Amino acid sequence: MAKKSIVSMAVIRRLPRYHRYLEELLKNDIKRISSKELSEKMGVTASQIRQDLNNYGGFGQQGYGYNVEELYNTISKILGLDRTYNTIVIGAGNLGQAIARYTNFERKGFKVKGIFDIKSDLIGTKIKDIEIMDIDKLNEFISNNNIDIAILCIPKDNAQKIADRLTKNGIKAIWNFSPIDLRVPDDVILENVHLSDSLLTVSYRLNEEDLFKNSTEEK
Ligand code: NAI
């Protein structure tokens, strides 16, 4: 089973949102924000924000609000954004290429050091300035390049085999886009991404009213 977190995942999942909103406030040169204003912007209660931050020592002052820059810097630090991470992308198809090209990750400190694929027509070509390598080079590359995170963008058939190779070679974190429940050792962080969950939420909401109209008609 993958590594468990100390603080609850519900709290952890709210932190990037706090970070994003605070970044936006900073960009708009807003120096201070009341906890009420911040909570209204974020759609969570002020007490939820306080409770979340209390996990890390608590910030801000009652009735005075938060210093935006201070809180932003602290949450950046909590999120580990005060350092950089070496990443590799496995699978240089549509998704892998999009991720490797997305400059905002790099700006946040996630540097793509290597990209791997099995297709001979991709191997040797470049995405940005990074050459796509044969997957056969994976073990050697990991050993020599201090890789922190592997980003898995391959079809599910090969994903477990590659995940096993990654963890056997010392990778401690996998950001997994392959549609499969991977098995990884207890000390490995596994974060699965399902864009389709978000898309299906959109389609649900487009149809929600019809759903209830029909069920009322049926009664
Ligand atoms: P794609 O077919 O464009 O790219 C997949 C790439 O992986 C190909 O270049 C292929 O040669 C390579 N590959 C296959 N086996 C490999 C191996 N053992 N080692 C290295 N490279 C290997 O597919 P696309 O659109 O990029 O999607 C990739 C995966 O991500 C699919 O499984 C897809 O279902 C999934 N996906 C997941 C999303 C999510 O939200 N979780 C969103 C979009 C795609």
> In terms of domains, do 48 and 107 share one?
no
CATH code, domain carrying 58: 1.10.10.10
Residues 6-41: pLDDT tens digits? 999 999 999 999 999 999 999 999 999 988 898 998
Residues in the chain, how many?
A: 219
Q: What is the ipTM of this complex?
A: 0.98
Residues 80-96: pLDDT tens digits? 999 999 999 999 999 99
> In terms of domains, do 102 and 121 share one?
yes
Distance 176 CA to ligand 1 centre (A): 11
Domain range holding 60? 9-78
Which ligand 1 atom is at minimum distance from the Cα of 177? 41
Alpha-carbon distances, residue 98 vs 28, 140, 211 (angstroms): 29, 25, 36
How many other β-carbons are positioned within 10 Å of the β-carbon of residue 87? 22
Which residue's alpha carbon is nearest to atom 20 within ligand 1? Answer: 117
Map residue 177 onto helix, strand or coil.
coil
Alpha-carbon distances, residue 13 vs 5, 10, 19, 109, 145 (angstroms): 11, 5, 11, 19, 29
Q: Is 52's C-beta closer than 6 angstroms to any atom of ligand 1?
A: no
Gap between the Cα atoms of 202 and 198, Å rounded: 7
Distance 177 CA to ligand 1 centre (A): 8
Annotated binding site for NAD(+): 91-96
